[in-house]
Amino acid sequence: MKSCDPLAQLIAAFRAGIAKATGCDSGSIDPQVKVSGDPKHGDFQCNAALVLARAAKVNPRDLAGSILQATELGDLVDRTEIAGPGFINVWLSATAIARMLRELSGPSLGIEPAPLPHAVVIDLCGVNVAKQMHVGHLRATIIGDVIARLHERLGRKVWRENHLGDWGLPIAMTLASLRRQRRDFRSLTLDDLNAAYRSAQLEATSDQAGLQAAQVAGAGPHRLAELELQNQLACAAEQDAKSTLLKLQGGDAATVADWKQLIEVTMTEVLETARVLGVHLTDQHSRGESFFRDRLAPTVDAFVSSGLAKEDAGAIVVTFADRERPMLIRKADGGFLYATTDLAAVRFRVQELDGGHVIYVVDARQRDHFKDVFDGVRMIGWDTLSDGTHATLSHLAFGSVLGTDKRPLKTRSGENFTLRALLDEAIERGVQQVMRRATDPTSTTHGMAESELRSIGAAVGIGAVKYADLACDPVRDYVFDLDRMIAFEGDTGPYIQYAHARIASLLNRSGQSAEAIAAADFAITEPAERHLSLCLLQFPHVVLNAAETLSPQRLCAALHEIAIAYSGFYQSCPVLKAPDQAVCRARLALSRLTQRVLAEGLSLLGIHAPLRM
Ligand code: ARG
């Protein structure tokens, strides 16, 4: 048990006490210990008596009394009370708080390794070759990165898997269209690819229906001829794409070389965006759809031979007992689908990467897809690990990014925003903000070199965008509102960055060395010190909980609460002008610990914590 986690210690103490008082087996007891919502009712509450008394048909206040009697709290607590119908309220002792703060200020900040028997696999980013990254990829990339960081921090083996969309007809269409235009593949940009992708899609939509409608409607000969030609061109483009796909699949050297070039161009930009975002994503993390190409036919065969898939009008489908919607795994023309690749990928991740938990950070609109894939995998048993246990498969579904008009975010001309354009704007806004503050002669940034101010500004802009995204429940849609995100006040990234930087500057002004501050004793006397300490002491638990429940928003909320608590402390407890040296040193120690926790928390969110802002 963590010696710096008051919640864990109270849970253990009350669990033993309840077992003693009731004779229940301690393993089956939930002692219902919670952080108290109101300091009037103590720091923590144990609410078990209410629940247990109902079942045992005894008076809850009496039961609370005997639980309290049987619970050994030692010097952890210096006051308890039984309140209302049978709540047990407890106040931690100042000595215990100081001791736990000392524990927390060790090198690992109270976060102990929590290894798992198997690896954690995180499907993140998921961009498509020849397409610009848009805001949806922002979410898949940064949420995935934070989940990975949290698990890594807990000492777990993590695989970051960028399931790049690099295979199949859409890519072949783009490839074919660029080849028809005789483009030089070595000088292409992602914008070129994106344009080719879109025109290829338009070209290839064969207009059979339009042609028939025109014939029925008796359109004039000119119009008919025009449509006829369009339709022929579309069919030709489609044919061309199909034959390009065959060449690609067959390993034709020239086609493969061009295809690799498309991937190269796409990845150069994706990795650059990841760098700007401060996300840990490299070439090493790319394992695209093409990686699974030789596993698609065997996947379909396995489903067919185990009787889980059957033929339906030439196609192969998997059906489920509880729903009408089948999962298509092979088209009538023999082509494989997105689902086929994902089935093969889950198998690989569980059986070859040893993934005990496979987490898909993907748009909520793909919920049905993952439900089908996961159910299919479980039916065929591909979720079985080498030790016979079953992997947990999770779809961490995220909502959409909306414009201030509450509609999906679009540019004024109605196009999708590219992620780069959005990030460039955020950086620009961050830079403006930081530059403006630096003109104030009392600001710590006054007189800094422009290049330094720019890099702080970039950290603020990117921090603002990332925090706003991570701070809300992933499944919810949110409004992309740079004005709100970038404010130094409110529940924003810059607010937390600023709290951190202000502490850094305070410590700097104290003239004390880091070692002296680190060696000082904690002393908790004021309510604001107590409140801040209790917020800090929750940090290790929050990190573990955010990782286990895939909830970056819980870490954000905890950091925001700490920043607010620090500001309350700073207002009511003078640090440099403290009544005496010992109090000054204790408050510096508390400030230093707060700074470290904020820096660590921001780093787990992949957000920079500048020392000056
Ligand atoms: N490329 C897909 C898209 O843009 C996302 C991939 C998600 N990962 C997966 N294993 N299916 O929609």
* SS3 sequence of 85-149: CCEEEEEECHHHHHHHHHHHCCCCCCCCCCCCCCEEEEECCCCECCCCCEHHHHHHHHHHHHHHH
* Gap from CA of 82 to ligand 1 centroid (Å): 54
Instruction: Map out the domains of the chain with their CATH numbers.
Output: 2-92 (3.30.1360.70), 119-166+283-398 (3.40.50.620), 169-250 (no CATH), 419-604 (1.10.730.10)
Query: Quick one: pLDDT at residue 234?
Result: 75
Which residue from 347, 337, 361 is spatially nearest to 281, judged by alpha carbons? Answer: 361
Burial class (CB in 10 A: 0-12, 13-18, 19+), 487: middle
Ligand 1: which residue has its CA nearest to atom 5? 126
Q: What is the pLDDT at residue 261?
A: 95
* Exposure string over 173-189, b if 16+ CB within 10 A, otherwise e: bbbbbbbeeeeebeebe
Give the number of the atom of ligand 1 that is nearest the alpha carbon of residue 345: 10
CA–centroid distance, 543 to ligand 1, in Å, is 27
The pocket around ligand 1, CB under 6 angstroms, is made up of 123, 126, 128, 163, 165, 342, 345, 360, 362
Closest CA to 48 of 90, 95, 1: 90
Helical (H) or strand (E) element with 458: helix 450-470
For residue 416, list its beta bridge partners: 410
Distance 398 CA to ligand 1 centre (A): 13
Give CA–CA dist 533/93, Å, rounded: 12
Spatial CB neighbours of 272, under 8 Å, sequence gap ≥ 6: none
- Residue 109: phi and psi, rounded to 5, are 50, 40
Residue among 461, 465, 414, 359 nearest 126 (CA): 359
User: Helix, strand, or coil here: 609?
Assistant: coil
Residue 289 CA: nearest ligand 1 atom is 10
Residue 524 corresponds to which tokens in the numbers above? 């908790």
Q: Which atom in ligand 1 lies closest to the alpha carbon of residue 137?
A: 4
Question: Tokens 């979410």 map to which residue?
Answer: 139
Ligand 1 closest atom vs CA 363 = 12
Query: Across the strands, what pairs with 384?
Result: 390
Residue with CA closest to ligand 1 atom 3: 126
Atom 12 (ligand 1) nearest CA: 126
CA 544 to centroid of ligand 1, rounded, Å: 27
* Phi, psi for residue 148 in degrees, rounded to 5: -65, -45
Whole-prediction pTM: 0.93
Q: What is the DSSP string of 527-563?
A: HHHHHHHHHHHTHHHHHHHHHHTT-HHHHHHHHHHHH
Where are any strands of DSSP class E within 400-457?
Answer: 401-402
> How many alpha carbons fall within 13 Å on the CB side of residue 362?
22
Sign of CA dihedral 461, 462, 466, 467: negative
At 571, list the tokens: 């207002």
What is the gyration radius of the CA atoms in the chain, in angstroms?
30
Secondary structure class of 329 (helix, strand, coil): strand
- Contact yes or no for 32/21 (Cβ under 8 A): no
48 and 14 Cβ atoms separated by less than 8 Å: yes
Mean pLDDT per 10-residue section of the chain, whose length is 613 residues: 86 95 88 92 94 90 96 95 95 97 96 96 96 90 98 98 94 92 89 86 68 70 73 80 91 95 95 96 97 97 98 96 96 93 98 98 97 98 98 97 87 78 96 97 96 98 98 96 95 98 97 92 96 97 97 98 98 96 97 98 98 96
| Distance in angstroms (rounded) separating the CA atoms of residues 355 and 589 | 41
Pocket probe mutation, ligand 1, options 123, 138, 163, max atoms within 8 Å of Cβ: 163
Instruction: State whether residue 166 is helix, strand or coil.
Output: coil
- Centre a 10 Å sphere on the Cβ of residue 206 and count the other Cβ atoms it contains: 17
